[in-house]
Copies of this chain bind each other. A is one copy, B any other.
Amino acid sequence: MQQVEVPEVVVLRLPLYVRALTQLQREGTSVVSSQQLGERLQMTPAQIRKDLSYFGRFGKQGRGYSIEFLLEELRDILGLNGEWRACLIGVGRLGRAIINYTGFAPEGFTIVAAFDSSDVQVGASVGDLSVQPMSDLPRVVDEQGISIGIVAVPAVEAQSVINRLVEIGLKGILNYAPVAPYVPRGVVVRNIDPVLSLQSMTFYLKSD
């Protein structure tokens, strides 16, 4: 459908729209203008309209956007109308915290398997999952219909674990390890790296 390649920044903003619209919907609103949405999200109405225009025409002139309709469309564009199954690699402190994080499931992301390279961890229970050995990874990914890998291993192991995930055919990786991993084209990586965030923040703080 997308004739003109959609800029990545636009894709990054779509979930923001979904979230704001969901909130508006819960508040009982059924129609919203780009103006109003822009005020919520601290962005210009023009940008919102431009972003949406990459995907189609969802609004009504003179009225605005039907929240229900636009939400449905956006969720469809982003592929959020279904369950995404993920596996977690690395069940140290961080990995355990991720498994127990309650924010994923309500949004349709489920961690259905946990792996660790250490024999000490294999067999342990984490949340309601049993930790499995890395050798089982290909089989479980296949059997369980897993399409996302969540990486929570130490920095030194991250790249090799990610290589393994890519090799197995996973196309989406959520990486919590403090490294900027290399992946081949066609694989999407998102890094969660609070230390990087802090380190760029301090640039602006130190001047005080």
> CB within 8 Å of B: which residues of A?
11-12, 14-16, 18-19, 41-42, 77-80, 84, 93-94, 97, 100-104, 107, 109, 147-148, 171-172, 174, 178, 180, 182, 188, 190, 192, 194-206, 208
Residues B104 and A199 in contact, CB atoms below 8 Å apart: no
The copy count of this chain in the complex is 2
Residues B94 and A101 in contact, CB atoms below 8 Å apart: yes
Residues of the B chain whose Cβ atoms lie less than 8 Å from the Cβ of A199 = 14-15, 18, 78, 80, 107
Residues of the B chain whose Cβ atoms lie less than 8 Å from the Cβ of A180 = 16, 19, 41-42
DSSP majority for the A interface? helix
Residues of the B chain whose Cβ atoms lie less than 8 Å from the Cβ of A196 = 12, 15-16, 19
Q: Would A195 and B107 be within 8 Å (CB), given that A78-B200, A188-B205 are in contact?
A: yes
Q: Would A93 and B101 be within 8 Å (CB), given that A172-B201, A188-B201, A203-B78 are in contact?
A: yes
Residues A148 and B198 in contact, CB atoms below 8 Å apart: yes
- Look across to chain B and name the residue whose beta carbon is closest to the beta carbon of A94: B101
- Look across to chain B and name the residue whose beta carbon is closest to the beta carbon of A187: B204
Complex CA gap A18/B203 in Å reads 13
Residues of the B chain whose Cβ atoms lie less than 8 Å from the Cβ of A203 = 11, 14, 77-79
Residues B102 and A93 in contact, CB atoms below 8 Å apart: yes
Complex CA gap A167/B93 in Å reads 34
Residues of the B chain whose Cβ atoms lie less than 8 Å from the Cβ of A101 = 93-94, 194
